Structures are given as structure tokens and as C-alpha cells.
Copies of this chain bind each other. A is one copy, B any other.
């Protein structure tokens, strides 16, 4: 309830109607991965008249604040996801469009190892598996 307000303040953002509603949407939606357009439409369905430009601005601010992360799965449009503390990667089904989250400590370890072997420090990574149903 008021939890969102605190999260926004901690992020250094004023508690405005659009920001609260968008944060609530991410916290309550069944679909964890939403594009700006998805977000905009869901707000409209919920009777919230929030401009699409505002949705984009708020999502960008949330990303900068570390509240959500942006994914560019295919290149078409970005999708956003609430940060819940648990890091994970994604598997996208080419047929159903379904997005599955997974985590592999071993892959994470190997990534770090490979970066270091090349004289670098691993800052971030992006792993997406494109799959189809097993016959």
C-alpha cells in the first residue's frame, strides 16, 4: 500500500500518481515482463489516464533507480521487469512467446572466469535462450 511511496522516496523520486500506479502495476501484475505499450494499455484498462510519454519517462527513471531492469529480447521493443533481488536469466519460447526465468550458478561462475581470463572484470551480462517445445 504505502510501501510503494517509500520505495519511490528512497529512489529520490517524488511520489506522483503515475509513478505509484506504474509501480503497483509491476508489483501486482501476473505478467512480470511488460513493454511500455503493455504498461500503458494496462493502465488504461484500469481507468488510469496516464500518457504514453510519461510511461516511457517513468520506466526509464525506475531503471536508473534500479527498481526495474530493461530487456531487449528481440530488438523490437524493450520489456521491463521488477527487480526482486533474485538475479535470473531468460528463456523465450519461439512458438508461444512464453518467457521462463532460470538461474544457473555454474554458468554465472563460468562467465566470470572467462571475463577474467581475458583480463576483464565482469560487470553485467545478458543471456537469453531461444527455445521451442520438445517433441
A125 to B135, CA, bound (A): 19
**Residue A83 CB within 8 A of the other chain:** no
Using C-beta atoms within 8 Å of the partner chain, give the interface range for chain A: 35 or more
Asked if B120 contacts A133 (CB within 8 A), the reply is yes
- Nearest-neighbor residue (CB-CB) of A103 within chain B: B114
Which chain A residues in 111-135 approach chain B with CB under 8 Å? 111, 114-116, 118-135
Is A123 a contact partner of B94 (Cβ separation < 8 A)?
yes
A78 at the interface (CB under 8 A from B): yes
Q: Are B106 and A110 in contact (CB under 8 A)?
A: yes
A120 and B100 CA atoms in complex are apart in Å by: 11
Asked if A15 CB lies within 8 Å of chain B CBs, one says: no
